[in-house]
Amino acid sequence: MRDGIKLSSSDEYDEKLSLFFTDAKVEYKDLFKEHLFGSYLMTREITLAGNFILERKNEVFNFNITSSDTVGYDNYTDLENKIYTITEGIPPKEPFISSIIEPVIAVAATATAVILFFTIRSK
């Protein structure tokens, strides 16, 4: 047998499987936070498509496999391998307004707590 995978251990059944990949990609979608002061998370979608041929029967089968998971925005580069470009995707941009609102809320809450502490204590 040449250039294929033997599908059976029986000598009577000699089948060759040829596998071809037509698409392999990683996409990052939906930047979100689980709670107000948490870190950003995003949905990662991995797609693998192609076809395989059973040469003895001369049949062609197509496949399209998609899988999704959730990864951290800060460490998505740990999941990619620069040698294999199919493992890389383009992450969504961090929202500008959201990155400003959280520090403003934290500073306002701290300032309010300090003001209340000293005004109530001095009375």
Contact, 28 vs 89, CB < 8 A? yes
Q: Tokens 């949905």 sit at which residue?
A: 43
87-120 residue pLDDT tens: 899 898 877 776 677 778 888 888 888 888 888 8
Q: How confident is the model at residue 6 (pLDDT cuts 50, 70, 90)?
A: low
Q: What is the mean pLDDT of residues 12-41?
A: 85
pLDDT score at 86: 86
Q: How confident is the model at residue 1 (pLDDT cuts 50, 70, 90)?
A: very low
pLDDT score at 103: 76
Task: Please state, in angstroms and rounded to a whole number, the distance separating the CA atoms of residues 69 and 103.
Answer: 29
Q: How confident is the model at residue 7 (pLDDT cuts 50, 70, 90)?
A: low
> Beta partners for 72?
41
3-class DSSP string for the chain: CCCCEECCCCCCCCCEEEEEEEEEEEEEEEEEECCCCCCEEEEEEEEEEEEEEECCCCEEEEEEEEEEEEEECCCHHHHCCCCCHHHCCCCCCCCHHHHHHHHHHHHHHHHHHHHHHHHHHHC
pLDDT score at 3: 54
42-69 residue pLDDT tens: 999 999 999 988 887 888 999 999 999 9
Domain ranges, ordered by start, for the chain: 5-92, 93-123
Kindly report the pTM of this predicted structure.
0.66
